[in-house]
Amino acid sequence: MADLAVFYEHPQWFEPLFKALDQRGVAWTPIAIQDHVFDPADTRLPAPVILSRLAMSSFLRQSEHALFYSVAALDHWEGLGARVINGPGVLAYDTSKARQLSLFRRMGLDTPKTRVAHRRADIPRLAAEIGYPVMVKVNVGGSGTGMIRYDSAEDLDAAVADKLTPDSVDGVSLIQEYIPARDARVIRCEVLNGRLLYAIALNGAGSTFDLCPADVCMVDKPTITIEAFTPPADIAAAVERTAIAAGLDVGGVEYMIDDRDGRSKFYDLNALSNFVAKPLEVLGYDPHDHLVDYLIAHIAAQRKVAA
């Protein structure tokens, strides 16, 4: 049996990870999510350590997506004793922007003013409470999908009447104030094992809601530039607390500076936050090396449990 299984969906995003695992001699096996089925009575594990690389944006690539299926599969393996990295606990947050915002507030962090609804007819009333311009977002999103800005009640009313507001795969919508990001910049903090691994600034991110910074994501976003960033100590500590509270083993937390009041507004927690493109140029090192160190440590720990 392999020491590690990588449960993944996108065929290109994880090539750097796979290469790093091979270079370190890790005995690992791939599990392609879209081809996977499981038997709830089967007590065999694919590996004692399982790394989930489930992408929320998978529903954009597959009409029969495996978002909620994957939660069940990972929970099955976790219940049998596997160490699941980014398991079903954190996926409860990754699959719900509403839950992410509630978590941020519990951590004492500022968030955009938001209302959560499950009926399209409620959206105009809630938007009036927020004030225009307003964003209508899907609860389950990925790669910037399902976000539309409305600048007036007339525009939103027409969209609601024509059933053109974004539809989430779980039927939940977020009605949220539009935050003017200072310098058109958002900050992504990458966390590994409860500690800040690095942070990057995505400059010009106001031109797109798709903020994936990996190599295969950047080809259609030439207006965005990326640079290493050092967040203030209180922000770094808050990100780490939030990651621990969510059970986020590896992933990203994003915020922006509201240009109106200078406050940090947190808006996203991502259990599949691809590492930055050209890491040696941006960071001076490859974060995959740290991730592989983390995985090897968990493999060793699982071996001790089994001994």
Mark which of 177, 205, 230 sits at the end of a domain. Answer: 177
pLDDT of residue 267: 96
**146-178 burial, b if ≥16 CB within 10 A, otherwise e?**
bebebeeeeebeebbeeeebbebbeebbbbbbb
pLDDT of residue 205: 67
Measured CA angle at 179 (ends 265, 61), to 5 deg: 90
- Alpha carbon 148 to chain centroid distance? 19
The reply to whether 89 and 102 lie within a common domain is: no
| Distance from C-alpha of 208 to C-alpha of 269, rounded to nearest angstrom | 18
pLDDT of residue 72: 97
The reply to whether 104 and 225 lie within a common domain is: yes
Q: Are strands 49-53 and 83-85 parallel, antiparallel or unpaired?
A: parallel
The dihedral through the CA atoms of 165, 169, 172, 175 has a sign that is negative
pLDDT of residue 139: 95
Tell me if residue 285 falls in helix, strand or coil: coil
pLDDT of residue 143: 64
The reply to whether 225 and 125 lie within a common domain is: no
The reply to whether 101 and 208 lie within a common domain is: yes
- Residue 164: φ, ψ to 5°: -110, 0
The reply to whether 150 and 204 lie within a common domain is: no
Q: Which residue has the tokens 């991502």?
A: 270
Contact between 89 and 46 under an 8 Å Cβ cutoff? The reply is: no
Q: Are strands 4-8 and 49-53 parallel, antiparallel or unpaired?
A: parallel
Please name the residues in contact with 109: beta carbons below 8 A apart, sequence gap of 6 or more. Answer: 238, 242, 255, 264, 266
Tokens standing for residue 119: 């009926």
Tokens standing for residue 237: 């500590």
Whether the bond between 133 and the residue before it is cis, its omega within 30 degrees of 0, is: yes
Tell me the pLDDT of the chain (307 aa) as tens digits: 899 999 998 878 899 999 999 999 999 999 999 899 999 999 999 999 999 999 887 767 767 888 999 999 999 999 999 999 999 999 999 999 999 999 999 999 999 999 999 999 999 999 999 999 999 999 997 766 789 999 999 999 999 999 999 999 899 999 999 999 999 999 999 999 999 999 999 998 654 444 444 443 444 445 789 999 999 999 999 999 999 999 999 999 999 999 999 999 999 999 987 888 889 999 999 999 999 999 999 999 999 988 7
In whole angstroms, how far apart are CA 269 and each of 45, 89, 93, 115?
29, 13, 8, 18
Contact between 92 and 99 under an 8 Å Cβ cutoff? The reply is: yes
Tokens standing for residue 302: 């699982």
| Distance from C-alpha of 257 to C-alpha of 263, rounded to nearest angstrom | 6
| Distance from C-alpha of 259 to C-alpha of 240, rounded to nearest angstrom | 24
Q: Are strands 134-138 and 147-150 parallel, antiparallel or unpaired?
A: antiparallel
Residue 78's domain comprises 4-93+288-306
CATH number of the domain that residue 230 is part of: 3.30.470.20
| Distance from C-alpha of 137 to C-alpha of 116, rounded to nearest angstrom | 10
The reply to whether 53 and 103 lie within a common domain is: no
The reply to whether 239 and 104 lie within a common domain is: yes
The reply to whether 11 and 81 lie within a common domain is: yes
Contact between 257 and 76 under an 8 Å Cβ cutoff? The reply is: no
Q: At what angle do helices 153-161 and 123-130 cross, to 10 degrees?
A: 160
Please count the structural domains in the chain: 3
